[in-house]
Chain A
Amino acid sequence: MSASVLPLFRRAIAESWRSTLGWTLGVAAALLLYLPLFPSIGGAGSQMGQLIANLPPQLVNALGYNDITSGAGYTESTFFGLLGFVLIVMAATSWSTAAIAGDEENGTLDLTLAHAVSRQQLVLERTLAVVVRLAWLALVSAVLVLALNSSARLDLTAGDVLDVTAAYLGLGLVSATLGLAVGALTGRRMYATAAAAGVAVLGYVLNAIGNQSPDLERLRDVSPYGWAFHHTPLATGADWGGLALLYGFSAVFVAIAVVALRKRDIGG
């Protein structure tokens, strides 16, 4: 019972299986609801296509619906860039803010850190637990997209699905790791939540504005959302620069979380 591998990681996973199941069902429901509708509403001559053509172009650009008539464009703008994005950001926010700040506000972090665990170990194991759960959601998304690919006539390649999934996961990780870092810095769940959800919202807004005109295009280069989806990985393959930014910033935020928690007093 004494020696065991990654005890905090294992406990975090075991404790959160209910919420993991909940988010998994959410992601599955979104995909099962949207993707099968593509043949009837998403095609070039479809009603949806005509509806979009009649919308103000600014709105279409803001929503990223420019390419909704292709399978890749449809999947990206309805799921990965919209509902799936909201789901993974919400899951990332809730898990990451519970991991440190929530535990500290509950008064339960105290006793864990009074045992034979270092603060660095605590941050890293709990970060790993968040990453694994988000990766699970991304994996479920990829598997379901591929499963629906032919029946929904999406015409996607497995490689492109993998590329967009990597971007999708990276976007979730930016929110999650920022939530962990701010939780480690402040110990306050509210601040951590504001940061994790805030960076996602801000990124989405910057991207939407950047979509409006070539003059504003540069805004998409400073938006995590833009790093993930600007170059439509589902249609054109991996955007390595964008992925490097998403995963690079995530790594930096984890490092900040480790240093921050090691330095400060734990509230109680």
Chain B
Amino acid sequence: MRQSAAVELSGVSKQYGNATALDGIDLTVEAGSVFGMIGPNGAGKTTTMRLLLDIIRPTAGSIRVLGIDPMNGGAELRRRIGYLPGELRLEGRVTGRSLLEHYARISGPVGPGAIDALAERLGVQLDRAVRTLSKGNKQKLGLVQAFMHRPPLLVLDEPTSGLDPLVQREFLAMVREAREAGQTVFLSSHVLSEIQQVADAVAIVRSGRIVTVSSVEGLRETAVRRVRVGFADTTPEAVGARLAGIRNLSDLAVTGTATGTGTEVRATVSGDIDPFVKAIASFAIVDLAIEEPDLEESVLKLYGVGGES
């Protein structure tokens, strides 16, 4: 029944005059998965998402959304998509409820109570005029209108922007539930850390190109971690000899005295952390720090792309 890809882009380019917003993007988002697009502002995330909704049209390449070209799919295709724009603008004297009811009239059928349930979950008041709401509360309304008709595909541009950490966590739970319900979620962020807990796969984008597509686990394997270990009752020589055989270790610095007090190791581990952990485990450890890797930076270094953002 289900086509395997919810979103398929091949060779998609978008030019604005002489400026290239997208430069030959190939991308496949598997149905029922959570796919993240990561990159700084201007990398092409918003352009990609607007192409899927037929708000803009590609200069070259082909696009399939739920198996259909967005230019031919028309209103019926968009009924099956929930979209949150990157720069959400909501205006008017109307209340949030009235605005959401309007969007419900021009999208898929919305179940009874769905709007209230989502609003309560995200903690947004529906009876205040939209224009008096803070950016974060407008963002919540934007999320409600994207989720409320339970579309097969969710396209969310920077969904976490403006949300406080608690609401971000609630949002991530909603994304997981959507995946469990068989929905596909295509979302973007300027930082990987905000969505890495939910994304099955991510595309790292820079300047209109895809640097790499990988699972978050895959990124972790290429990740670079800085480590620091303090030892008791051992000498720098003994530790140095033990670590000498580990190939994915660099910037190794072993300090301490020959009498075995204050021995400390600082190093950088690329990828698999296991050999290093096994090696140090044979000593008595008094201190251990392994920093959370910046997966995105790791990728950019690996591919030799500048990490400006």
A residues lining the B interface (CB < 8 Å): 1-2, 4, 7-8, 11, 15, 106-108, 110-118, 121, 265-266, 268
B53 and A114: CB pair below 8 A?
A: yes
- CB neighbours (8 Å) of B83 from chain A are 111, 114-115
Number of residue pairs spanning A and B whose beta carbons lie under 8 angstroms apart: 77
- For the complex, give the distance between the alpha carbons of A142 and B69 in Å: 50
Interface size class of B (residues with CB under 8 A): 20 to 34
A112 and B55: CB pair below 8 A?
A: no
A268 and B85: CB pair below 8 A?
A: yes
Smallest Cβ-Cβ distance to B54: which chain A residue? A113
- For the complex, give the distance between the alpha carbons of A249 and B24 in Å: 43
B85 and A110: CB pair below 8 A?
A: yes
**Interface flag for B88 (CB, 8 Å):** yes
A117 and B75: CB pair below 8 A?
A: yes
- CB neighbours (8 Å) of A121 from chain B are 75
A8 and B90: CB pair below 8 A?
A: no
Which of A1, A107, A115 makes the CB contact (< 8 A) with B89? A107
- For the complex, give the distance between the alpha carbons of A265 and B88 in Å: 18
- For the complex, give the distance between the alpha carbons of A193 and B76 in Å: 33
- For the complex, give the distance between the alpha carbons of A266 and B107 in Å: 19
CB distance from B151 to the nearest CB of A (A): 10
- With A11-B102, A107-B89, A118-B74 already in contact, the answer to whether A113 and B55 are too (CB < 8 A) is yes
A116 and B106: CB pair below 8 A?
A: yes
B residues lining the A interface (CB < 8 Å): 50, 53-57, 74-76, 78-79, 81, 83, 85, 87-92, 94, 101-110, 142, 145
CB distance from B145 to the nearest CB of A (A): 8
Which of B78, B92, B94, B101 makes the CB contact (< 8 A) with A1? B101
B102 and A7: CB pair below 8 A?
A: yes
CB distance from A126 to the nearest CB of B (A): 13
A1 and B103: CB pair below 8 A?
A: no
Smallest Cβ-Cβ distance to A116: which chain B residue? B79
- CB neighbours (8 Å) of A114 from chain B are 53, 55, 78, 81, 83, 85
- CB neighbours (8 Å) of A4 from chain B are 105
CB distance from A112 to the nearest CB of B (A): 7
Could you list 8 further interchain pairs (A-B, Cβ under 8 angstroms) beyond the known A111-B103, A115-B78, A266-B56?
A: A108-B90, A111-B89, A111-B142, A113-B55, A114-B78, A114-B81, A115-B83, A117-B75
- CB neighbours (8 Å) of B142 from chain A are 111
B57 and A268: CB pair below 8 A?
A: no
CB distance from A141 to the nearest CB of B (A): 28
- CB neighbours (8 Å) of B57 from chain A are 265
B55 and A116: CB pair below 8 A?
A: no
- CB neighbours (8 Å) of B76 from chain A are 116
Smallest Cβ-Cβ distance to A8: which chain B residue? B106
Smallest Cβ-Cβ distance to A113: which chain B residue? B55
A118 and B106: CB pair below 8 A?
A: no
A108 and B89: CB pair below 8 A?
A: yes
